[in-house]
Structure 1
Amino acid sequence: MNISSDEADDWFMESLNTYKDLHVFQLEHPTKVIEWTGDKSICVAGYNGARSEILELLLPLKLYAGENQGLCAERDFKVQHGGFSEEPVESLIHIPGTRCAVTAGGSSSALQIWDIGGDDSDVIKKTGVLNLKSPSAEGIKIAAGSRAEPAVLHGSCISEVQLSEIASGRVLYTVAKGSSEPVSGLQFANAYVFLVCASDGTLLVSDTRDPSACHYPLRDSKSGLHWSFGLRSDSSQAEPSRCAVARLSSSGHVLLSDLRDLQRPFCQTQLNVQRSTAKNDLLNVSWAPVLDGWLSVSGFDGKVRIYNTTGWGAEGQSPQPVFTHRGHEMSHEAEHGAALPVVTAHSWHRSRPRTLLSAATDGSLHVWDWLDKVTDR
């Protein structure tokens, strides 16, 4: 299916009244990662080439010009630092408070450690590796540990999840669970507690001060579905009452759970989505860091959908998105018969309530701030 020129023109005219800001950038190679390195900078990296580019980009200055946008001519992303990886980059994290990043990808049995660079250099260079106990690191997930000494949480299946110190490579913690189920995501709730989501929707909760892990399988698990998850926590010392978990299946089913009772979701609903891709690793569900109870979903097609979950009941049916970003489909210049792009990643801005970034399989990278017609009137 292709978008007609008339439909694209209509969307462009409509966008003048539905976006506060919309900036479009074209990467040489598509990225699956959008990782914040500062309030105004991100890292992206290619995933479909033998030699992949890693870039730190400065967001368009016009985003921050406020009422004086007419005085700011800079509308594009600006490359701050760049480098090359000898393997595709499937995952990338930035270690908070440092200029260090860690990547995983390809079939390497090691994590790559990078110096993003500073004012004296524009080069992103590899500074070391973390060797893994698995002979193959395909599908590995990584998360930054909140510790005095920089550490990374990593694993491709439940039995291989461990926390490693970056400087020494020393293993600080290992999940005591002998499961070969693939990991679809992992994230810290606070400095000690982290969650692991398995591809079958099972959740594990571990505390690095305790060798045991709590195991929460889905009660009504459906075979053949792939699950991803997103965790909302308000601070680095978040209490369980301030944390919520969203799980998203490849069929569009959503489960919302409180960290205090992961066995019984307080809400579940079915989104009205149809998949245009068979790739499960593109599914992404994320909580807004500023808007309480707002959720974003992507990876089914070329759209990013925004939902306000505060009005969802215990058994909601097909809630309508508050906003849908269709820009990757509408700005796509495809050859005749070519498939529409699929969103590969999206991320909320950490302090701007309705600003998001999204990337797609055609290499497009967008930053956009949608208008809430009620509050912005």
Structure 2
Amino acid sequence: MDNTELDDILDDWFIESLKTYKDLHVYQLEHPTQVIEWTSGKTVCVAGYSSSRNEILELRLPLKLLADENKGLCAERDFKVVHGGFTEGPIRCLRHIPGTRCVVTNDGRSSDLQVWDLGGDDSAQLLSCRPTADVIKKKGSVEGRSKVSETGSRIAARDASLPQVLHGAQSSDVQLTELTSGQSLYELETSSAEPLSSLQFVGDTVFIAGCCNGSVYVADTRTSGAPQLSPPPASPGEAVLWWTDASVGAQQSSCRLVRLSSCGQAVISDLRNLGGAVCQAQLDVQTHRCQLDDVRVSWAPTLGDCISVSGFSGVVQIYDASAWKTELGEAQPLFQHRGHVVSSQQADGCVPVFVTSHVWHPERPRTLLSAASDGSVHVWDWVNPDGSVADDPTLETK
């Protein structure tokens, strides 16, 4: 591809973007990240995953994005590093502990966790961490139950009087640990040792453990009783891996699960009847042999029937599941963010760009952050194709 063709592609996409985005801001990391975790409504944590030393950063979103009115009066259009530090190994999983200035990470090589103090805020030092302004420092570690792990641990956190994390590399070693004392408060009792793709609280004490083979455990940390087990969904093809996410409503009974397979099949179930499919669809994704950390599927927090998918290619797709049926049928995305792959096109033979992570904003309905293998990080507010949310269909770029 010559420079003229590339310029034409970029120009066409920019013109198209004027209609399809309410906001779009671009940031470039020195090294790509596989984790994007909210630490507040305005800040996120990212971290590198190369085999050697990596940065761990807390970034503030562009002030221009956060200005609901008079955006033209806000000059700052870029992300800003507010805290930073270094880790000696990769970071494949990262979770913020609600109510604290601490995050917990895993390197993808073992089941052990690392605890980090983000610093800069002395109002919630629940781990007795003495903050150092602007510096992210390692403050401790948590030993996992698995001595050997090929996939690393998944982590879930909840708001509690004392900070706690749920963690495990496989279904047989999930445990709830109090970070202050290191005490194990709960262990999932199961004889199965399936590698995990996700851990997620769906209530104050109830959590789901999604396994790579598509099975899901539902358990309550208040009881030592056997967890509820849902087998993998029926699949017309060979589903090598499955990823899971839950949509949590005001009541636990309204919780829905989406399970996405590596062959592109998405199955939605109700927590009260995980054995049956409420609806399902074959998504329009570029299926290939995926690794566990490649793909993300996520429910929109404030758009009840929307799910987002990334990792199959260089795009992030938004699907509206409200029209899906119980029988498997093909589904087209409601919206696609192609910014990463378009901006990375430089010359023939260049390495394909893949989206490495994405996350919805917890409060802004159509705002997402996404990161790609070229180190780019985008925050974007997409416009519903019917135009119903286009209060100001202007594009802000950096």
TM-score, reference length from structure 2: 0.90
Q: Which position in structure 1 is the counterpart of 2:88?
A: 86
Give the aligned residue type for 1:266.
Answer: V
CA contact 1:355–1:367 (8 Å) conserved in 2: yes
Q: Which position in structure 2 is the counterpart of 1:150?
A: 163
The answer to whether residue 200 in structure 2 is matched with residue 187 in structure 1 is yes
- Choose 335-344 or 172-181, whichever is displaced more: 335-344
Give the aligned residue type for 2:249.
Answer: D
Q: Which position in structure 2 is the counterpart of 1:29?
A: 31
Q: Which position in structure 2 is the counterpart of 1:337?
A: 349
Q: Name the one with the larger strand percent.
A: 1
CA contact 1:277–1:342 (8 Å) conserved in 2: no
CA contact 2:263–2:288 (8 Å) conserved in 1: no
Q: Which position in structure 2 is the counterpart of 1:99?
A: 101
The answer to whether residue 214 in structure 2 is matched with residue 201 in structure 1 is yes
In the comparison of the two structures, how many residue pairs are matched? Answer: 374
Give distance in 1, aligned partners of 2:389 and 2:279: 29
Give distance in 1, aligned partners of 2:283 and 2:165: 33
Deviations 1:133-175 (A, max 9, x none): 3223442111113432211111111111111111111111111
Q: Which position in structure 2 is the counterpart of 1:299?
A: 311
CA contact 2:111–2:168 (8 Å) conserved in 1: no
Give distance in 1, aligned partners of 2:22 and 2:197: 34
Give distance in 1, aligned partners of 2:77 and 2:143: 41
Q: CA deviation at 1:47?
A: 0.6
Match of 2:247 among 232, 239, 250: 232
CA contact 2:114–2:138 (8 Å) conserved in 1: yes
Give the aligned residue type for 1:79.
Answer: V
The answer to whether residue 300 in structure 2 is matched with residue 285 in structure 1 is no
- Choose 56-65 or 312-321, whichever is displaced more: 312-321
Give distance in 2, aligned partners of 1:147 and 1:137: 28
Q: Which position in structure 2 is the counterpart of 1:171?
A: 184
Residue identity over aligned pairs, in percent, reads 51
TM-score, reference length from structure 1: 0.95
Q: Which position in structure 1 is the counterpart of 2:339?
A: 327
Q: CA deviation at 1:307?
A: 1.1
CA contact 2:262–2:288 (8 Å) conserved in 1: no
Q: CA deviation at 1:64?
A: 1.8
Give distance in 2, aligned partners of 1:148 and 1:303: 40
Taking structure 1 as reference, are residues 82 and 66 closer, same or farther at Cα in structure 2, changes over 3 Å only? same
Q: Which position in structure 2 is the counterpart of 1:7?
A: 9
Taking structure 1 as reference, are residues 8 and 36 closer, same or farther at Cα in structure 2, changes over 3 Å only? same
Give distance in 1, aligned partners of 2:111 and 2:264: 33
The CA RMSD over aligned residues, in Å, is: 1.8
Match of 1:162 among 175, 179, 191: 175
Q: Secondary structure at the match of 2:227?
A: strand
Deviations 1:37-64 (A, max 9, x none): 0000000000114111100000000012
Give distance in 2, aligned partners of 1:277 and 1:30: 21
Q: CA deviation at 1:318?
A: 1.5
The answer to whether residue 381 in structure 2 is matched with residue 369 in structure 1 is yes
Give the aligned residue type for 1:156.
Answer: A
Give distance in 1, aligned partners of 2:195 and 2:110: 17
CA contact 2:36–2:46 (8 Å) conserved in 1: yes
Q: CA deviation at 1:316?
A: 4.6
Q: Output aligned runs, 1:100-119, within 5 Å.
A: 100-108=102-110, 110-119=112-121
Taking structure 1 as reference, are residues 14 and 277 closer, same or farther at Cα in structure 2, changes over 3 Å only? farther
CA contact 1:146–1:190 (8 Å) conserved in 2: no
CA contact 1:87–1:106 (8 Å) conserved in 2: no
CA contact 1:334–1:340 (8 Å) conserved in 2: no
Q: CA deviation at 1:108?
A: 4.4
The answer to whether residue 50 in structure 2 is matched with residue 48 in structure 1 is yes
- Choose 118-127 or 164-173, whichever is displaced more: 118-127
Deviations 1:42-89 (A, max 9, x none): 000001141111000000000122331111111110001001111100
Taking structure 1 as reference, are residues 243 and 346 closer, same or farther at Cα in structure 2, changes over 3 Å only? same
Q: Secondary structure at the match of 1:177?
A: coil
- Choose 25-34 or 270-279, whichever is displaced more: 270-279
